[in-house]
A and B are shown apart, each in its own frame.
Chain A
Amino acid sequence: MTDMASLMEDRAAAKVISDNLRKPVDWDSPKIARNIKKRYAAERRFKMYGLVAIGIALLALCMLATSIGSKGYSAFYQTYVQLEVHFDPAVIDPDGTGDPAVIGRANFDGLIKQSLRDRFPDVTSRSDKRDLYGIVSGGASYDLRERVLENPSLIGQTRTIWLISGDDFDMLNKGYIDPTVAEGDRRLNDQEVSWYNELVEAGAVEKQFHTRFFTSGDSREPELAGIWGAAVGSFYTLLVTLALSFPIGVLAAVYLEEFAPKNRFTQIVEVNINNLAAVPSIVFGLLGLEVYLNVMHLPRSAPVVGGLTLALMTLPTIIIASRAAIKAVPPSIRQAALGLGASPVQTVTHHVLPLAMPGILTGTIIGMAQALGETAPLLMIGMVAFIVDIPGGALDPATVLPVQIYLWADSPERAFVEKTSAAIMVLLAFLVLMNGLAVYLRKKFERKW
């Protein structure tokens, strides 16, 4: 018995050692006390690092939020200028036809220019006049036209009307242009500033809630640009994404969890799903460009193509979440159903899927939220075009909220900074809503088996 022998040997060795015992540690010695102190200091320091790390992360979040919020809140208001407008029949409807088509073609811009000239009669030179016309936005004439078409009796009257101001005046009024800096360093010259001051003194400048920001499409003029077009584009894109990725994702998850035999095919699918989840989004954009645009010749800039591309991207998220939800349904439920003679498909559709649905929906919403914030792949498939019209369907050219943000962020006008920030706030609001819904679903249907 070698084991026994070695045991005896060990024993002998241990005996020897115990004879020359180490003297016990004096735990009250100053050296140990110092050491303990040091160790506790290290402990506190380490804990501090953790706290500082979280602090930095949260600080970054706060800075992000304040930076966006402080830049963007002012976009929800717009400067308006009060002018006396004479609805000159000679300009609007010289023949007195009352025909809306004639009125619609009238030169309302000229009316506004006229009232500006009347308001500031000293302005004579051509370039000064051009500056003067900048007080009012080019979009104000559309508003006037609407007004007259709605109420033709205005023709011939003179009314005091609030008109949407140009972006530079808006910036000045919101304090983004500092009138005290040297004249050459600001967008407005001294004369324009003096006009502004005169209007303010007369009480003819006012900030109003900027509904147009929520109802109109993109525009080159910051004060006319809105997010509705992008929001609708996002809606169609997500609709396509959802319509494709949800059924496909759930069916794939069901197959992989409930039916798939453990074979090569299944293995390859699983590896692929895991890897697809980590492929950079821009690569999906390249795929979309090549397959949907170059091979299938689907329309450029269309929500369909965006949706098709994003569907491939969100598919792994949905499959992974759905599989987790299906896995969480206890086997006893399946056994009960199978025991009653239900077929596997019936077991799944009648019992497993309904029980897993909250989890699946949560995963789907999170996937949709990701898709809503995604930008890069959509740039690849041409959703960066400048599109004024509100898309009417999934085949119309469109842009989406994040791409709109990207486009505005790239615009040189100072006024687009606040628009960008405001659009970001809107996008984040949607994301908060979606994630909140996901959290609510999870909380509500949380089940401990």
Chain B
Amino acid sequence: MAAVSQSAMAAKPSVENPKMTARNLDLFYSDNQALYEVDLDIAEKQVTALIGPSGCGKSTFLRCLNRMNDTIDGVTIKGEVTLDGRDIYDKRIDVVQLRARIGMVFQKPNPFPKSIYDNVAYGPRIHGLVNSRDELDEIVMTSLERAGLLKEVKDRLQSPATGLSGGQQQRLCIARAVAVSPEVILMDEPCSALDPIATAKVEELIDELRSNYTIVIVTHSMQQAARVSQRTAFFHLGKLVEVGETDQIFTNPKDERTKGYITGRFG
């Protein structure tokens, strides 16, 4: 653990019962290194926020957690990421299953050009989670309800998802992720394309989901991090600078760079 930077050490990167851990994580896009020796624990059933100036590697780190970087050519990863103590980059781990266990919500709402129902049913269908139409209906309804969307769309489940408003679309994407009963949900700036009211709704939703899911959220808004997360990690130039309780990070940052960022001096 000698490589762990001084400040990260001081900010207590580990938690008691981590759902996921990253150790010594380096990532390269072809020859460009985007992450440097990142050590971070994700606490179970909590919201962990990743903040930092744009281009610092937040999304890149997030995508390491469910191996979405596998879909990009020329990416090499060193280090270790675990889920429930098992290395997710192990050869025996099945990516397809892994991504079902670690769901993801993206920056721009990306509903499939299908009906609302089919969007939510997509995951359970491909993973073979249901045996009957009733069961599927049930999952779709529950997921929509959990994403706080059911009331708005229950009369038009068969209409195309692309007809929903931006906020609704993003909540649909959350419902879609929830439908496969993931253990962890990764969210990459889920509100950046939404208006304030829709943002408020999604933030409420994240708070709700926390009781059942482990959530990691990338955000560029410090207010949002403060509102929804319990733990916050600050990234800078591909390095994890500081991580800790959200309250502590925002009220009493240990690192000068963190302080500079949250007081708005850069980023």
Produce 1/0 per residue, B120-155, CB < 8 A to A: 000000111100000000010010011010110000
Q: How far is the CA of A229 from the CA of B146 in the complex (A)?
A: 79
Is there contact, CB below 8 Å, between A32 and B128?
Answer: yes
Residues in chain B near residue A27, CB distance under 8 A: 97, 100-101
Which of A22-75 touch B at CB < 8 Å?
22, 24-25, 27, 31-32, 35-36, 38-39
Shortest beta-carbon distance from B51 to chain A in Å: 25
A202 contacts B by Cβ under 8 Å: no
Q: How far is the CA of A25 from the CA of B139 in the complex (A)?
A: 12
Is there contact, CB below 8 Å, between B128 and A18?
Answer: no
**Number of contacting residues on B, CB 8 A?**
27
Residues in chain B near residue A14, CB distance under 8 A: 145-146, 148, 205, 208
Shortest beta-carbon distance from A43 to chain B in Å: 9
A268 contacts B by Cβ under 8 Å: no
A6 contacts B by Cβ under 8 Å: yes
Residues in chain B near residue A31, CB distance under 8 A: 128
The residue on A at minimum CB distance from B149 is: A10
Is there contact, CB below 8 Å, between A13 and B100?
Answer: no
Residues in chain A near residue B129, CB distance under 8 A: 25
Is there contact, CB below 8 Å, between A22 and B142?
Answer: yes
Is there contact, CB below 8 Å, between B181 and A13?
Answer: no
Q: How far is the CA of A35 from the CA of B129 in the complex (A)?
A: 9
Whether A10 touches B204, Cβ cut-off 8 Å, given contacts A18-B212, A27-B101, is: yes
**Number of contacting residues on A, CB 8 A?**
22
A126 contacts B by Cβ under 8 Å: no
Is there contact, CB below 8 Å, between A13 and B150?
Answer: yes
Residues in chain B near residue A38, CB distance under 8 A: 128
Shortest beta-carbon distance from A14 to chain B in Å: 5
A340 contacts B by Cβ under 8 Å: no
Which of B193-241 touch A at CB < 8 Å?
197, 200-201, 204-205, 208, 211-212
The residue on B at minimum CB distance from A14 is: B208
Residues in chain A near residue B126, CB distance under 8 A: 39
The residue on A at minimum CB distance from B150 is: A13
Is there contact, CB below 8 Å, between A17 and B146?
Answer: yes
Q: How far is the CA of A216 from the CA of B96 in the complex (A)?
A: 67
Is there contact, CB below 8 Å, between B146 and A35?
Answer: no
Is there contact, CB below 8 Å, between B208 and A25?
Answer: no
Residues in chain B near residue A6, CB distance under 8 A: 151
Q: How far is the CA of A38 from the CA of B129 in the complex (A)?
A: 14
Residues in chain B near residue A7, CB distance under 8 A: 200-201, 204
Is there contact, CB below 8 Å, between B180 and A11?
Answer: no
By DSSP majority rule, is chain B's interface helix, strand, loop, or mixed? helix
The residue on A at minimum CB distance from B139 is: A22
Shortest beta-carbon distance from A22 to chain B in Å: 6
B183 contacts A by Cβ under 8 Å: yes
Residues in chain B near residue A36, CB distance under 8 A: 94, 96-97
Q: How far is the CA of A286 from the CA of B205 in the complex (A)?
A: 68
Partner of A3, one of B127, B150, B197: B197
Shortest beta-carbon distance from A246 to chain B in Å: 40
Whether A18 touches B181, Cβ cut-off 8 Å, given contacts A10-B204, A13-B145, A32-B127, is: no
Residues in chain A near residue B100, CB distance under 8 A: 25, 27
Q: How far is the CA of A31 from the CA of B130 in the complex (A)?
A: 11
Is there contact, CB below 8 Å, between A10 and B148?
Answer: yes
The residue on B at minimum CB distance from A22 is: B181
The residue on B at minimum CB distance from A43 is: B96
A443 contacts B by Cβ under 8 Å: no
Residues in chain A near residue B97, CB distance under 8 A: 27, 32, 36
Produce 1/0 per residue, A1-12, CB < 8 A to B: 001001101110
Partner of A17, one of B145, B151, B204: B145
A21 contacts B by Cβ under 8 Å: yes
Residues in chain B near residue A3, CB distance under 8 A: 197
Shortest beta-carbon distance from A354 to chain B in Å: 35
Is there contact, CB below 8 Å, between B96 and A18?
Answer: no
Q: How far is the CA of A36 from the CA of B127 in the complex (A)?
A: 7
Residues in chain B near residue A297, CB distance under 8 A: none
Q: How far is the CA of A50 from the CA of B201 in the complex (A)?
A: 44
Q: How far is the CA of A31 from the CA of B131 in the complex (A)?
A: 11
Residues in chain A near residue B127, CB distance under 8 A: 25, 32, 35
Q: How far is the CA of A38 from the CA of B204 in the complex (A)?
A: 39
Q: How far is the CA of A35 from the CA of B94 in the complex (A)?
A: 13
Is there contact, CB below 8 Å, between B148 and A13?
Answer: yes
Q: How far is the CA of A36 from the CA of B126 in the complex (A)?
A: 9
A264 contacts B by Cβ under 8 Å: no
The residue on B at minimum CB distance from A25 is: B181
Shortest beta-carbon distance from A271 to chain B in Å: 28
Binding site for B on A (CB under 8 A): 3, 6-7, 9-11, 13-15, 17-18, 21-22, 24-25, 27, 31-32, 35-36, 38-39
Give me 20 A-to-B residue pairs in the complex whose CB atoms sit less than 8 angstroms apart, sorted by A's number.
Answer: A6-B151, A9-B151, A10-B204, A11-B204, A14-B145, A14-B205, A14-B208, A17-B142, A17-B146, A18-B146, A24-B181, A25-B180, A27-B101, A32-B127, A32-B128, A35-B127, A36-B94, A36-B96, A38-B128, A39-B96
Please provide the 9 A-B residue pairs with the shortest distance between their CB atoms, ordered closest to farther: A35-B128, A10-B148, A14-B208, A25-B181, A17-B145, A17-B146, A3-B197, A27-B97, A13-B145
Binding site for A on B (CB under 8 A): 94, 96-97, 100-101, 126-129, 139, 142, 145-146, 148, 150-151, 180-181, 183, 197, 200-201, 204-205, 208, 211-212
- Beyond A7-B204, A25-B100, A35-B127, 12 additional pairs, beta carbon < 8 A: A6-B151, A10-B151, A10-B201, A10-B205, A14-B145, A17-B145, A18-B211, A24-B183, A25-B127, A25-B180, A35-B128, A36-B94
